[in-house]
Structure 1
Amino acid sequence: MMSLLFLLLLIAMIGAYRNKKMLSYTFFAASVVLGLYWFHHHATDTLSILL
């Protein structure tokens, strides 16, 4: 999943370098949304610690 986020950000940076604003904004927004989802998944995951 993390590699997908980095790939989306790479595409956004390449699009920004080539002056493709809409492409860059779209991929950056998708990476932010997926990053927040991934953070929420890990932040609310229960830990299986047996003490």
Structure 2
Amino acid sequence: MMSLIFLLLLIAMVSAFIGKKEVGYAFFGVSVVLGLYWFHHHATDTLSILL
């Protein structure tokens, strides 16, 4: 999942570099939403620690 987020960020940077800013903004927005979802998934997951 993290590799997908980094791939989307790479596509956003490359598209912004070649002049397609709207596409870059779209990919950046999707990667931010996915990153926030992934953070929420890990931040609210219960830890199974047996002491």
Superposition TM-score, scaled by structure 2 size: 0.98
**Pairwise CA RMSD:** 0.3
Q: How many residues align?
A: 51
Question: Structure 1 stretches of 5 or more lacking a match?
Answer: none
List structure 1 segments (4+ residues) > 2 angstroms apart after TM superposition. none
Is 2:14 the partner of 1:22?
Answer: no
Report the alpha carbon displacement of residue 19 of structure 1 after superposing the two structures with TM.
Answer: 0.8
* Identity percentage of aligned residues: 76
Structure 2: any 5+ residue segments left out of the alignment?
none
Structure 2 counterparts to residues 1-51 of structure 1, below 5 A: 1-51=1-51
Name the aligned partner's letter for residue 12 of structure 1: A
TM-score w.r.t. structure 1 length? 0.98
